[in-house]
Amino acid sequence: MDSWPPLIGDYVTALALTFADGAPRPYRARVILSPGNPNNSPDLIRIRTARQQQQRSRRREATTHHGATTVGRAFSCGCGRGIEFQVDFEGRNPQDPDYHGIKTLLQQLFLKAHIDLGGLTDLIISQNYVGSVVKQSEEIDESDDDEDSNDINDVFGITTVINVSDKQNILCIQQLRHLLKQLADEHATDAVNTMIKNVLENDAAQLGLLINERFVNIPAKISVPLLENLISELKRANNRNMPFNFSYYILICKLYKSEDKRAGKKAKSKNRNSTEPSILWSNSEEEIFAEEAIVSFEFSVEEEADSGLSGTWTETDDEMIPYRRVLLFEASKLQSIFDKIQNQFS
């Protein structure tokens, strides 16, 4: 092969995730990665750094046959158009070593919002009977050095629920409630603002914040077992009288809208109401949540973060502006939403 390691710059194009027999965890995913980055496609997060992958490759036997290389059990590649690799992911309940990985995922959602993300991460880990993290499987030799071992603590996704009606004495919960009210005040219509505030102020109708974050290069198919497992965990928690009996959920979604750079400012002003911008959902399955929402509102976060969609841009390309869309939906709809996601992405 002309270049090694082949995982540098690769991105996920397909994924299959299954649960282990007889147990909800751990589950593993087979991920197919293709090298390169087509023009104008997102620059996606890498599975490993170059140095880490080179260190791992030197410690494992590699065999080459007709353009195909196999490195241990971690992944394999085949010849043809592009190179395919098998990478094992596993899922389990959040644990203490996941702290920094979970916090990083929360940072990409909340950006510069005034939220104690460390406290929120601690809360997620403390309720480890609900929710899942997605990690690369720990197939590390004893000879692996500290830097490579630290790599296994990377968290590639987090799916969980936080009760924002309970434990209002906790700082991060107070900040979350204040943030939701502030965002609704600034960006929602009067009717939507009223609805959001009524739900937040009615503690008898418990409100859950659904957190569904992952690296941008993990396909929507992984959401099927994650959401299925979350629903099962919520049912078990309710059977034990834990505070997860929700009436509503709020989901903050990441999406991008196109801005036509070819049109001048004057032209854009005239056509603003005539042409709808194209929308790219960071997590594709969340579009189904949006279809079932009672109310929603959105706002641009262009000033707070990079678009996350860099690449080979030209003057004629549309610019993708990052947004957040806040969805409120009834808890009773979660199962039917999941069914639609399962039908579409399984």
Q: What is the CB neighbour count within 10 angstroms for residue 67? A: 11
C-alpha–C-alpha distance, residues 232 and 230, integer Å: 5
Q: In whole angstroms, how far apart are CA 49 and each of 31, 53, 77, 84, 176?
A: 17, 6, 18, 18, 34
> Does an H or E element contain 298, and which?
strand 295-300
Instruction: Report which DSSP code applies to 165.
Output: S
pTM beyond cutoff 0.85 = no
Residue 152, pLDDT score? 54
Query: Domains of the chain, with CATH numbers?
Result: 91-139+154-260+275-309+317-345 (3.40.630)
Q: What is the CB neighbour count within 10 angstroms for residue 266? A: 8
pLDDT at 16 over 80: no
pLDDT at 250 over 50: yes
Write the pLDDT tens digit of every residue in 253-290: 999 998 755 544 444 444 545 567 789 999 999 999 99
Residue 53, pLDDT score? 40
Q: Are 40 and 313 in contact (CB under 8 A)?
A: yes
Q: What angle do CA 75, 79, 82 make, to 5 degrees?
A: 85
Structure tokens at 61: 């036997």
C-alpha–C-alpha distance, residues 246 and 176, integer Å: 17
Decide: residue 26, CB within 10 A, 0-12 exposed, 13-18 middle, 19+ buried. Answer: middle
C-alpha–C-alpha distance, residues 29 and 26, integer Å: 10
Write the pLDDT tens digit of every residue in 75-127: 333 333 444 556 677 888 999 999 999 999 999 999 999 999 999 999 999 99
Residue that has been written with the tokens 């997060």 in this structure: 45
Residue 305, pLDDT score? 64
